[in-house]
Structure 1
Amino acid sequence: MKTDVLIGACTSLILFALSTNALAEPCDNVLAALQQERHLSQVKQTEGKQTTEYRDGPNIVLSLSCAVGTPNVAVTWDGPAPDQAFYDLVGRTGSLVSKRSAADVVKASQQCRQQALKDESEIATVEQKGLAIECQAFARDGGGTTITVFAD
């Protein structure tokens, strides 16, 4: 009886370790790619690398979340209208977590921002095959935009 319990506990630990490693691998690949971004500076990382935050100048914050399943990336612009460098970053990093090209991610993120600006809730979603984008955009209080790219 004790042997069965011990074997069950060991099996559970092994499966947990394997599943954690399987989830960590995509995030490790994205983290490695983000380290190569020349304008990004890492400013925070939670224990276990579940969330890593970067800055790019005074207006851009990028956050990589690895907490649940596949990674997602959120890029925030502090100000009225994001510049092309912001969208280029959204495209490059969004293509790391989705199956779509950087150009597709940029186009969908610009569309999402326009929808959010027109919506009373200031929130919009764009879903396409292999790509899901949620965004918030507003003009009040100096403006701001956050675009989150998910795998699908």
Structure 2
Amino acid sequence: MRMRFFEYQLPVVLWLLSIFVFSTDLFSTKQTGRIIIPVLMFLFPTISYEQTDFWHLVVRKSGHVTEYAVLAALAYRCFKNEHLSLSDTRIRTIAFVLVAALLDECHQLFTAFRGASIMDVGYDCLGAVWALGLIGVYETWRIRSHSIL
């Protein structure tokens, strides 16, 4: 039982803690802009200020999608280990990610330079759906490649 926790559940808990850190003021728009905007200006010297703002937003929202895709993959792996049906595993994964995203936005209400956004919950859920889609493609490929051999 203890090994199951370390192998399947602990990665989910650690990733949730990472998300908690990402939703603090350390990763606010102002803070990430200090890094992302100079990098954009270095890579694209002729980029306009409006374009840097746009691409800064794209990078930030891509972060939402990616961090919740990772959470979904870890949660899926954890729920799959409970020997649920495929549909139950997927439903639990989406529900888990949705609750985590909502709690994350609630947490941001209590930070000085962040705010809650239902759009961010949408990006987070998009990441979960994307991860489950990739997992489905991988599992289908794996089953088919083994049945050929």
Q: Is the TM-score greater than 0.5?
A: no
Which has the higher relative contact order, 1 or 2, with Cα contacts under 8 A spaced 6 or more apart?
A: 2
Larger strand percent:
1
The normalised TM-score by structure 1 is: 0.28
